[in-house]
Amino acid sequence: MQRREILRRGMAAALGATLPWAVSARSGVPAPDDGTQTPPLDTRDAYVAWMVYHRGEDPAFLAQRYDRYLELIKHHDVWDERNKRAYLMTPRERFVTERNLKRAYEWHYLDIGYGVTITGPHTVARMTNVIDPKRGEKVLEIGNGSGYQSAYLSYLTDQVYSIEIIEPLFERTGRLYETLIGEGYKEYAAIQRKRGDGYYGWEEHAPFDKMIVTCGIDHVPPPLLQQLKTGGTMVIPIGPPGAQHVLEVVKHEKADGSVAVTRSDIYHGAIINFVPFTKGKAG
């Protein structure tokens, strides 16, 4: 890297907290993520400087990402070091609509068109940390949506499978992934997607070690439970509209060899609303 570029990025990092959001240090990701390098977590300035240098990202958004990270820690929404890294490495601002750019790191869910939303960062972090994907584990996401959740998962495992039923959204997110991969986010190339009804899972790639459902439904779809590996974990919002609880569903083998399922509420009874599960045709 030329000395001038190093100086420019260093200056951008130093000014990151005051630069307007439109000022970007991005000139492409210098090197794809290999999973071994972790940004410093002790101060915002150190994190921003590291990410600008290593990832070429906008310092103002990075400052917002770090501030939200502190809130995630405060509210116990992320606790594992690998999951902290996954949150901090994922550029959420690239997955929101242009009109919501300034709100990318707010607590709230944000509209992404087609009657659906991008899940708030606290919920994404908690649901992901609960299933805690490991490298090499196969993870199925139901509801690809904006693409943010799958991108987040790609920093935890290289086997991400995602289904989206809304065709124009599926196509738009596909174009976004292509753009990001072209910029150097090569880790997103590991995300495999298909357009279809997530209720029926993705049988060709089953069984899955982990599953994450990003839309609300009043029951656990039997095909998903069947495709979840014994010993595997799913997180899913269950309940009628306006009264959903995010459940951790664990499929395990009992002492007698039979299979059982246990459920627990990851929010300890709090209602967390999601957009409704959209049903279509199988396949």
- 118-121: list long-range contacts, CB under 8 Å, 24+ apart: 118/92, 118/145, 118/146, 118/148, 119/145, 119/148, 119/149, 119/214, 119/274, 121/68, 121/72, 121/87, 121/92
Within a domain: 95:
no
What is the pLDDT at residue 257? 83
In this structure, what CATH number is given to the domain that contains residue 234?
A: 3.40.50.150
CA distance 134 to 111: 30
Within a domain: 49:
no
How many domains are there within the chain? 1
CB 202 within 8 A of CB 190: no
Within a domain: 16:
no
What is the pLDDT at residue 258? 86
Within a domain: 188:
yes
What is the pLDDT at residue 214? 96
Within a domain: 59:
no
CA distance 206 to 251: 14
136 in helix, strand or coil? coil
| Residues linked to residue 141 through DSSP beta bridges, in sequence order | 162, 212
Instruction: Tell me the residue ranges of DSSP E strands in the chain.
Output: 110-113, 116-118, 138-142, 159-164, 191-195, 208-213, 228-238, 245-253, 259-265
CB 144 within 8 A of CB 171: no
Query: CA dist 125 to 79, 88, 273, 276, Å?
Result: 9, 10, 16, 20
What is the pLDDT at residue 88? 98
Residue 41, Cβ density class (10 Å: 0-12 exposed, 13-18 middle, ≥19 buried): middle
Within a domain: 68:
no
Backbone angles phi, psi at 115, to 5 degrees: 75, 15
Within a domain: 42:
no
CB 247 within 8 A of CB 235: yes
CB 110 within 8 A of CB 118: yes
CB 243 within 8 A of CB 236: no
Within a domain: 28:
no
CB 161 within 8 A of CB 141: yes
Domain that holds residue 226: 107-283
20 in helix, strand or coil? coil
* pLDDT profile of the chain (283 residues), mean per 10: 44 39 54 87 97 95 98 98 98 97 96 96 98 97 98 97 98 98 95 97 98 96 98 97 94 89 96 85 39
**Interstrand relation of 228-238 and 259-265 (parallel, antiparallel or unpaired):** unpaired
